[in-house]
Amino acid sequence: MKKNKFKDSALIIIDVQNDFCSGGALAVPDGEAVIPVINAVSEQFAFTAATQDWHPEGHVSFASSHPGQSPYTTVNIGKAPQMLWPDHCVAGTSGADFHPELNTDSCNMLLRKGTALQMDSYSAFFENDRVTPTGLAGCLHNLNISSVVLCGLAIDYCVFYSAMDAVGLGLSVSILKDGVRGVGVPQGSVRRAVDELKRVGVSFV
């Protein structure tokens, strides 16, 4: 572990990938603006992890996998609702790569999620079935890390679910407010996400 003043804290960088930045298949408005903010702080933490969406072709979250459906609509997969997206972050493609300006040299852990064909994964901690762990929680527990700061893309989806899961795991959770951006679909999703996060005790720093 790196030696620095945040000895009990981890920085979790969520999905700062080409497909979520300008020109990408699922570009988050102003998404790349988070990069200099994240780069400025990433070496100040005891532990840093970065996640990547890493989907197989034909992933269940792709609208193209559901004939007659369009991106940004919701369908039921079993008993669970699934937002449909444009094809994005397909494993091994340039769109799934970290943005080239993101400094990952300080990362202790790189975590790929959404790798199962029939299951999406927003959270850095659990797949969308809400029970299958990614391994991040166990890693933090083994390192005696009880506080996390989240940043990246997007505040109304993957950052939101990661933060909610972190709260549920008993971690102290903060979000780097200048280090996140939102999809904004459906309208008002960013405000609802921020309000809910504040309601459960997440701080914005």
Q: Which residues are catalytic?
A: 15, 113, 158
Contact 128, 78 (CB under 8 A): no
Residue 51 to residue 70: CA distance in whole angstroms: 26
Contact 113, 136 (CB under 8 A): no
Residue 36 to residue 202: CA distance in whole angstroms: 23
Q: Is 142 exposed, middle or buried (0-12, 13-18, 19+ CB in 10 A)?
A: exposed
Q: Return the residue matching tokens 């202790």.
A: 108
